[in-house]
Amino acid sequence: MQAFTTLQGLVCPLDRANVDTDAIIPKQFLKSIKRSGFGPNLFDEWRYLDHGEPGMDNSKRTVNPDFVLNFPRYQGAQVLLARENFGCGSSREHAPWALDDHGFRVVIAPSFADIFFNNCYKNGLLPIVLPAEVVDQLFQETAASEGYRLTVDLAAQTVTTPSGASFGFDVTAHRKHCLLNGLDEIGLTLNHADKIKAFEAQRRVEQPWLFS
Amino acid sequence: MAQTLYDKLWHSHVVHEEADGTVLLYIDRHLVHEVTSPQAFEGLKLAGRKPWRISSIVATADHNTPTDHWDEGIKDPISRQQVETLDANIREVGALAYFPFKDQRQGIVHVVGPENGATLPGMTVVCGDSHTSTHGAFACLAHGIGTSEVEHVMATQTLTAKKSKAMLVRVDGQLGRGVTAKDIALAVIGRIGTAGGTGYAIEFGGAAIRALSMEGRMTLCNMAIEAGARAGMVAVDQITIDYLQGRPFSPKGEVWDQAVAHWRTLVSDEGASFDALVELDAGSIAPQVTWGTSPEMVVTVADRVPDPANETDPTRKSGMERALAYMGLQANTPISEIPVDKVFIGSCTNSRIEDLRAAAAVARGHKKAANVKAVLVVPGSGLVKAQAEAEGLDKVFVEAGFEWREPGCSMCLAMNADRLEPGERCASTSNRNFEGRQGQGGRTHLVSPEMAAAAAIAGHFVDVRTFA
């Protein structure tokens, strides 16, 4: 997994609540058996005016000029600013894969859906929860100033605005450690293989019907 | 100390705990389907790792499989490749059971697990699919996971996790005729919102829940994720135990008795405390119909489409306006005056035998309305299909002008050929009314099987309680 330490990134504002993972990456692109290549189809139904299917040459499609991701001022954005309950719905990890493939490294919102939130950490994408009024302020500042960038420091657990205002955010020690170091979580877990084996052996004795 | 059912399920699976409360949680059952597993199998192989316990795996192909012309196979080459990739992976790795495309026991993974007795009380059940919450109906700790976690479970038989808070949704009283578990689910979501359960595991309790069949409890737990809760659950009672007796993977003989004795402890203790409580009176729940693009945008069939002019919160207001524009609806239109173009009866929410019986009881002796282009009835599994045919339900549907299809996820998410065309409006028994969910530009209204069948016949939404 790619590590995440600090980032100073351009901010793209997506001003909608309850953005679901079907919207982030529509179902037809889930037929891929790969982890990469989802970026061009991120928010496909909002981003293009025509219907997208896997295998199409996306450079030849009709772009929706009214969708924020297509605004020239937000090209190259690495921080996605969003509203409540971002990433709700389907468990598809293709959603963080598509955000990452497009170039986003951070998503900031007042709240996230649980499965999406968890999936982000497995892919070096940092989801940050900030209070609704702070997110509101960031939306206003992003709109007011072209080229608006935020500085995110995972070690310090802070988001800092261009004017120097700084906001702290929560992250569990385990997730922070894995993300800062880009660790393979399976490898870490297998350090406890003996414990898992012992637990399993005990369970097999106590509840044999679970192992038939 | 008095424990909740969730406390019991959680504590009995903790293998290791770190200082920050992150635990390694042991996983008993791993359900696998073709969409969210290929990258996990590939990751395992690239790292040179072996699956930890293949007898925990139950697999089936459901999302991409067609629901008609099975003799022609899967025509879409990308869908076919994904299904064939699952075939190859299971052939190589192994599983307790695999129900491939066209197998008699193939079907939607959340229908197949319980009906085969592969979902048992007290288990942790995971699957790369958010509707894994369904299995909580059996007093399991069951939730959806991402593909990285699918790989993690295959490699280690555990997940890293942190304990959620516990919410009790207590539904007392008695449901009225024509009101179902689906209506309870939608009423709960309407009350607490699609993020209301975020960070919680929900236990459903109360007299109205105890009165539900296992099928109804599965419908309810299925939609816990639509309320934002990864897991929903119902305590064990005699209905749970009766359902499981004699299923292919249920324990037998002496072990059955031993299992039942343990299962009966899987209830919240008297006086156990929850972090949140939501109470509903079943008698006051009317048939529900969603009007927007989120399951929380729901009203009763007797209501009108809400008016954004009455909403003061600006984000909610713009969300309502966007939803009405997408849905092609005017504020204040009576729900019963909204015509439908298609009807879908199926999905992991409502495709079990009881759902089909309920839909057939409404459809019997009627014909679909002329303005309704198609009514798809898609059983949840091959076994459900066979049972329905043994009861003659297929004939009832066909005589009403409905299409009787092969099992699969079908038009719940439209990964196969079953989908809405842009602008088409559908009464659907599925779980998500998101933009584009049933096909780009498609407009979904979530309802119960009874309400879907009634809409098919009337040509518009109609209160099934007064429908002749």
Sheet with B57-60: list strands edge to edge: B97-99, B57-60, B29-32, B124-127, B141-144
- Ligand-binding annotation for B348, yes or no, is yes
Q: What is the pLDDT of residues B346-374, one digit of tens each?
A: 999 999 999 999 999 999 999 999 999 99
Taking the Cβ of residue B62 and every Cβ of chain A, the question of whether any pair is shorter than 8 Å is answered with no
Residue of A nearest to B255 (CA): A209
Cβ within 8 Å, pair B148-A55 = no
CB contact under 8 A, B20 and A172: yes
Q: Which residues of B touch A92 (CB under 8 A)?
A: 35-36, 146
Ligand-binding annotation for B140, yes or no, is: no
Residues in chain B with CB shorter than 8 Å from the CB of A112 are 198
Mutate to test the interface with B, among A19, A27, A122 (most CBs of B within 10 A): A27
Q: How far is B362 from chain A (nearest CA, A)?
A: 31
Burial of B188-225, coded b for 16+ CB within 10 Å and e otherwise, reads bbbebbbbbbbbbbbbbbbebbbebbbbbbbbbbbbbb
ipTM value: 0.96
Average pLDDT over residues A7-30: 97
Instruction: Name the segment(s) of chain A with CATH classification 3.20.19.10.
Output: 6-181
pLDDT tens, per residue, chain B with 468 residues = 999 999 999 999 999 999 999 999 999 999 999 999 999 999 999 999 999 999 999 999 999 999 999 999 999 999 999 999 999 999 999 999 999 999 999 999 999 999 999 999 999 999 999 999 999 999 999 999 999 999 999 999 999 999 999 999 999 999 999 999 999 999 999 999 999 999 999 999 999 999 999 999 999 999 999 999 999 999 999 999 999 999 999 999 999 999 999 999 999 999 999 999 999 999 999 999 999 999 999 999 999 999 999 999 999 999 999 999 999 999 999 999 999 999 999 999 999 999 999 999 999 999 999 999 999 999 999 999 999 999 999 999 999 999 999 999 999 999 999 999 999 999 999 999 999 999 999 999 999 999 999 999 999 999 999 986
- pLDDT tens across A129-184, in order? 999 999 999 999 999 999 999 999 999 999 999 999 999 999 999 999 999 999 98
Q: Which of residues 73-92 of A touch B (CB under 8 A)?
A: 83-85, 88-92
Which of B:158-187 have CB within 8 Å of A?
158, 160, 162, 164
pTM of the entire structure? 0.97
Pick the CATH number of A6-181 from 3.20.19.10, 1.10.132.20, 3.20.20.70, 3.30.200.20: 3.20.19.10
**Residue B28: its chain A contacts at CB < 8 A?**
210
pLDDT tens digits for range A61-71:
999 999 999 99
Chain B contact present for A64, CB below 8 A: no
**Burial class of residue B33 (count of CB atoms within 10 Å of its CB; 0-12, 13-18, 19+):** buried
Partners of residue B143 on adjacent β-strands: B126
Minimum Cα–Cα distance from B144: chain A residue: A91
Cβ B199–A114 below 8 Å, yes or no?
yes
* pLDDT at site B467: 85
- Which of the four pLDDT bands, split at 50, 70 and 90, describes residue A212? confident
B261-274 confidence digits (pLDDT tens) = 999 999 999 999 99
Whether A122 sits inside 8 A of B148 (CB atoms) is: yes
